[in-house]
Amino acid sequence: DGGITQSPKYLFRKEGQNVTLSCEQNLNHDAMYWYRQDPGQGLRLIYYSQIVNDFQKGDIAEGYSVSREKKESFPLTVTSAQKNPTAFYLCASRQGVRSGNTIYFGEGSWLTVV
């Protein structure tokens, strides 16, 4: 099946630990995104990447890091510097301009600090 796969679905982090959320897509999309969603709230952009080996900070990048070494993969690391990381994290990718520019989302990952 084509799509965006996020793992794990649920993750627990201890104080002071870094954790990495995986995002893989087989849609051949160049652009990928990470969003954060707090309970009952909308989405806020963390990082985005328009092409391999390039990425930019979004609105709330502090305490997060990403890499884009492969077109298919855009992992997000939540570092210990992120003081309130408990949230729902959504990965997305975008069709090319000629294909309609639509952004599609994965199923999300729940991160809880324990």
Positions in the binding site for another protein (CB under 8 A): 6, 31, 41-43, 45, 48, 50, 90, 92, 94, 100-108
Cα(31)–Cα(83) distance, rounded to whole angstroms?
28
Sign of CA dihedral 36, 42, 33, 47: negative
* Nearer of residues 23 and 113 to another protein, judged by Cβ: 23
Contact 47, 55 (CB under 8 A): yes
Cα(25)–Cα(43) distance, rounded to whole angstroms?
20
Least separation in angstroms between residue 72's CB and another protein is 18
Least separation in angstroms between residue 108's CB and another protein is 4
Least separation in angstroms between residue 14's CB and another protein is 24
* Nearer of residues 10 and 83 to another protein, judged by Cβ: 10
* Nearer of residues 37 and 80 to another protein, judged by Cβ: 37
Return the amino acid letter for 82: Q
Bridging pattern class, strands 43-51 and 64-66: unpaired
Least separation in angstroms between residue 63's CB and another protein is 20
* Nearer of residues 76 and 92 to another protein, judged by Cβ: 92
Q: How far is CA 78 from the centre of its chain?
A: 10
